[in-house]
Structure 1
Amino acid sequence: MNDTPCSAEEWLLSAHPTSPRLGRAEWREQNLTVLALGSLFSAVRIPGRIVQAVAASTDPADIDAMLHEALKGGPVICDVHGPRYYALVPAKVPRTWRDAADDWRKDDVACLGRGAYLGVPRLDAVEFPVRGTASYWSVPMEAAGVLCPPLSVARVIAAGAARLAEEQEERWPADAPPAPRRPGVPHARR
């Protein structure tokens, strides 16, 4: 790996719960290591349906491009089995976003911080599909400590939730208007 990913690699691996050396070995052998959240960085888990609604696509290339632009190049991990997206944010976000996080639970969004762990793919796992791993960098980490702007993450969540709500209203109106009555035919009772 070149110098830039190494500095990001070292920075990420310093969040390994046991040792950076073990994390590096796990990346080599399993393409994934588990890192502790809440000290160097935290993560916001966003369901695929929200991200797909913002991208207006299910194509990973379209989604990755939208996330790169919307999150200003901040790093995002995609778990392809959800899909679920994990935007890496400053460590304090779960504490400062407590009220917003409570509101977002209905949409299955979660702010993950101290006490939580995240499976992090190797830094060179940057394309979908990825052989041998269940996740990849939807938006690669460009440099150590460079994270997603929290306000940008909140905007993506709000836009996706709003689009999903609009689609739900269009497809499944809550109260259908009553059927017109034909003269001489009694109205059906429930």
Structure 2
Amino acid sequence: MTKIAVLGNGRVGGNLAAALTRAGHQVTVADRTPGAAADAARTARIVINATPGAGSLERMAALRAELRGKILVDVSNATTDGPDGLPADLLHPGSSLAEQLQEALPETHVVKTLNTMLFPVMTAPAMLGQPPTAFLSGEDPQAKQAVHELLTDLGWQKEWITDLGGIRTARATEAAILFVPHVIRASGFTPFALSIAR
């Protein structure tokens, strides 16, 4: 059992919190009340950033003391929205939200994952007709191993998880968000994920 704080209680955060609780972890979900995120992060070993990506950097940077020495799992994508509310462009071109978080939080182990799929797939990868791929980006091998173990608790098989390397590789997976609006317009809001076919 791991003490986990989920920051963000929307569809993504709520879905992850429920699934990790079912897997036997002690999960706290932080809402928007003052101090809730700090209190949750302070007592957790692993913190999941499931806040809207456009404001994530500011929110997480404000928790620098609480996140010191912790693993921060970043599942958000920082984008500007188009007129239809779907992602239109990246907020950090030539970089990534994960890189910006790691720079702002040098004493925190940032690991990027689960950001290349619609949220239902995060906790039920076997729901798709073919195996999806979950990517890992981060500088600390032990932190990535801990996140790898969380993914297996969520139903991800070992062969479905690909470690891309350092945090800089997150700019590739974050750029994949630009596929999403086109796929949704073409096929509707049905679960999908990127998959590496071998």
TM-score (norm 1): 0.25
**Greater RCO, CA 8 A, separation 6+:** 1
If you compute each CA radius of gyration, which structure gives the higher value, 1 or 2? 1
| TM-score (normalizing by structure 2) | 0.24
